[in-house]
Amino acid sequence: MSDFVIETTGLRKEFVSRRGGRLVAVNNLDLNVRAGGVHGFLGPNGSGKTTTIRMLLGLARPTAGTMALFGRPVPHHLPEVMTQVGAVVEAPKFSPTFSGRQNLQLLGRAIGTPDERVDEVLETVSLTGRDRDRYKSYSLGMKQRLAIAATLVKQPRLLILDEPTNGLDPAGIREVRETIRVLGESGVTVLLSSHILAEVQQVCTSATIIGNGRVLASGKVDDLLARGTSYAVRVADPERAVAVLNEVKLPATLDGEIVRVDTDRSPAEITRHLASHDLWVAELTPVRQDLESFFLDLTSGDTLGAEAAKGDNQ
Amino acid sequence: MRLLTVELTRLRLRRAVLVLLGLAAVIAILMFAGTAWDSRPVSDEELAQAERQAAADANQPWVEESLRDCIENPSNWGLPGTASEADCEEAVVPRAEFYVSRQPLDIGEARTGIGVGLAGVVAALLMIASVTYAGHDWATGSMGNQLLFEPRRVRVWLAKAAAVALVAALASAAILAAFWLGIWALTESRDIAVSGDQWRKILALNGRGVLVGAGAALAGYALTMLFRSTVATISLMFGIAVAGNILIGLLPLDDSERWLTPTNIYAVLAGRYEYTFFPPCSGMDDSCDGIEKVITLTQGMLYFGVPLAIVAVLSLWLFHRRDVP
């Protein structure tokens, strides 16, 4: 039995454009998500996040590669595992002329969920007072909350949320993030697709960053951030210090009076090389990058998904 | 069964479907009311008025002239050459019934006329109802949401198709039955004798009407699931209704009437469609005479059944294969 709740190997999705060209939306993607916690799925717009999610959920067919949920190959075994998977893909999509309650009841009844469960989840997302109103009368925040309620109807072990805070006001965003955190802590595995880096940094325990439909980095959020650590060094002669460090392949730049060194290597190495040239370190401060800087560094060479995908075909 | 129940509920909750079903019922009521009114018995007052009018006209000079013409040339008046003076008097001299144009209710005519018409109108409305029902899922994007709960697409397609066909069959059965119950009540109240054979034919018409209603709804549903758009399906249906017959007329077919949609609908609903076919002729021999032809029920059923089966299979296969937005 696999340790991973979500597992993709060599996943690829090509779209055929109207002009007959091929666009590669997802390219050889290996995504592994362990059970428990909140896993961020990061990438710029058009990087292939939603397409990957849609393939996992059986809404789109992969061109190549394999996928598994709870160790069961999908889409072949999707009917067996889908009762344990709740998902919101892109914007909430319900019948606008039905009430929120009717929408949830119809979805729940399709899998034999009793209507009482709908009452529970409506209460969970604080929609009880408006549940009999038509969906089209809901605010964007209420629609998003109804979508989250729909995912909870199944009592899932895996939640896949694609940009769940889109369109919410600050209070709504905080509420949804808190709900996601609580779900993650309660043992539900959450795959949170987002391009809001602060959100992922605040909520997720691990993350995968993709660009051009490929995995650029993956791991625990702390480990990812540690990879991007730099140091601020104060010395008497900063210009000479930059030259010394660059000589030994420690990438250093001058930032005013401060020498900035971007490296994963030990800070002791920096001080040793500088001391060997009689440059005595007055102050050395580790500067921890935030996820945003790390993400931008990783994706700075990428053009956005579809554009890049064209190149992939050539 | 669970999915079928869900889809039946979804249909019931769709306001557009309810409006179209209501419209079908209203049309049936109006057609019944029209039939009842147009065939109402002649009142004593109307009869007296007609008799007065006939008596007045009988003294007009043209009556005498017409009578002479009839005696001399009976064929001008649609009579055989051996027609007597009495025959001509009956044909020419004004009588009260000449001034009362209303005919009493003829159940045979009602069956092949308004009965077939009503079944056709109900089927068309049920088809539109099924198009709007299926199109709504695609327009709102809720189809994807439904598949997150039941990913077995073949089951989903079949459950929706069964719901559409079932509701269409029940609705058309109810509407047609109500209409003919009304007609039966009318014949009873007016002491019009109707043979058991006539009622059996009406029952058969309604059975075929139910079948056509369900088939039309299924066709609308399958096409919408294929095109994923209400507008595209309605446009296609409109195109077939308008341009289809024109196109068939332009095709180099000797007997284009055999392939027209309305004639085949009539053949299915009425059980057969009889028409006179005039083959191309030189005018020098008997080949210019018309030939009596028939579109049978089986031919009509094949005309619609084969395309329906093809569209349904294609729709199901593509729904199973294609990415869902």
Tens of pLDDT, residue by residue over B160-202, are 999 999 999 999 999 999 999 999 999 999 999 899 999 999 9
CATH of region A230-287: 3.30.70.100
**What ranges do the domains of chain A cover?**
4-225, 230-287
- Cβ of B6 within 8 Å of Cβ of A106? The answer is yes
Q: What is the pLDDT of residue A300?
A: 66
Q: Which residue numbers of A have CB closer than 8 Å to B's CBs?
A: 54, 57-61, 75, 78-79, 82, 85, 87, 89, 91, 93-98, 102-103, 106-112, 150, 154
Percent of chain B exceeding pLDDT 90 equals: 65
Domains held by chain B: number: 2
Least confident of A152-156, A196-200, B42-46, B305-309: A196-200
The verdict on a CB contact (< 8 Å) between B151 and A79 is yes
Q: Across the strands, what pairs with A4?
A: A34
User: Could you tell me which chain B residue has the CA closest to the CA of A74?
Assistant: B151
Contact state of B2 with A94 under an 8 Å Cβ cutoff: no
- How many angstroms separate the CA of residue B134 from the nearest CA in chain A? 12
Residue A93 φ/ψ, nearest 5 degrees: -130, 105
CA dihedral B4, B7, B9, B15 (to 10 degrees): -150
* One domain, residues B186 and B290: yes
| Least Cα separation, residue B308 to chain A (angstroms) | 27
> DSSP letters along B226-267, please?
HHT-HHHHHHHHHHIIIIIHHHHHHSS-TTGGGG-HHHHHHH
Distance, CA of B271 to CA of B266 (rounded, Å): 8
Q: Which domain holds residue B215?
A: 2-40+104-321
In this structure, the answer to whether residues B110 and B239 fall within a common structural domain is yes
Alpha helices (H) along A19-139: 49-56, 78-81, 100-110, 115-124
Min distance B318 CA to chain A CA atoms (Å) = 13
| B145 and B215, same domain (yes or no) | yes
Residues B204, B58 share a domain: no
* pLDDT, tens digit (0-9, with 9 covering 90-100), for B259-286: 999 999 999 999 999 999 887 776 666 6
Residues B78 and B119 in one domain: no
Q: Which two tokens stand for residue B118?
A: 């009503």
pLDDT at A309: 39
Last residue of a domain, one of B79, B99, B119: B99
- Closest-CA distance of chain B to residue A58, Å: 7
Q: Select the CATH number that applies to the domain covering A4-225 from these four: 3.40.50.300, 3.40.1110.10, 3.40.190.10, 3.40.640.10.
A: 3.40.50.300
User: Which has more confidence, A308 or A22?
Assistant: A22
Cβ-nearest to A93 among B5, B15, B141: B141
B267 and B183 inside one domain: yes
Min Cα–Cα distance to chain A from B8, Å: 10
Q: Contact at 8 Å (CB) between A294 and A227?
A: yes
Task: Give percent helix, percent strand, percent coil of chain A, each to the nearest 5.
Answer: 40, 30, 30
Residues B14, B56, single domain; the answer is no
CB–CB of B323 and A93 under 8 A? no
Across the range A111-139, mean pLDDT stands at 91
Tell me how far CA of residue A211 lies from CA of A32, A100, A296, B130, in angstroms: 16, 36, 11, 43
What residues in B contact A108, CB-CB < 8 Å? Answer: 149
Of B28, B15, B12, B51, whose CA–CA distance to B164 is shortest?
Answer: B12
Q: Taking the model in full, what pTM does it have?
A: 0.83
Same domain, B91 and B232: no
Task: DSSP letter for A139, please.
Answer: -
Mutation site, B6, B17, B18, B149, interface A, largest A CB count within 10 A: B149
A308 Cα to chain B: minimum distance (Å): 22
CA angle B256, B304, B227 (to 5 degrees): 110
Query: Are B83 and B170 part of one and the same domain?
Result: no
Residues in A touching B13 (Cβ below 8 Å): 95, 97-98, 102
d(CA B132, CA B167): 14
Q: In chain A, what residues touch B10 (CB-CB under 8 Å)?
A: 95, 106
Residue numbers in A near B144 (CB within 8 A): 59, 89, 93
Mean pLDDT calculated for residue range A40-66: 92
Shortest alpha-carbon distance between residue A112 and chain B (Å): 7
Q: Are residues B56 and B201 in the same domain?
A: no
Residues A209-221, mean pLDDT to the nearest whole number: 86
Tens digit of each residue's pLDDT (9 = 90 or more) over B236-256: 998 988 888 888 888 888 888
Query: A61: which chain B residues are within 8 Å (Cβ-Cβ)?
Result: 321, 323
Tell which of A51, A63, A107 to mutate to test the B interface (max B CBs under 10 Å): A107
Whether A154 sits inside 8 A of B2 (CB atoms) is: no
Token representation of residue B229: 């758009």
Q: Do residue B178 and residue B198 come from a single domain?
A: yes
Boundary (domain end) residue, out of B82, B99, B116: B99
Looking at beta carbons, which residues of chain B come within 8 Å of A95?
10, 13, 136-137, 140, 142
Q: End of a domain among B52, B79, B99? A: B99
Top-confidence residue, A312 or B9: B9
Residues B281 and B170 reside in one and the same domain: yes
> What is the distance between the alpha carbons of residues A306 and A303, in angstroms, rounded to a whole number?
8
Per the listing, tokens 């989250």 go with A148
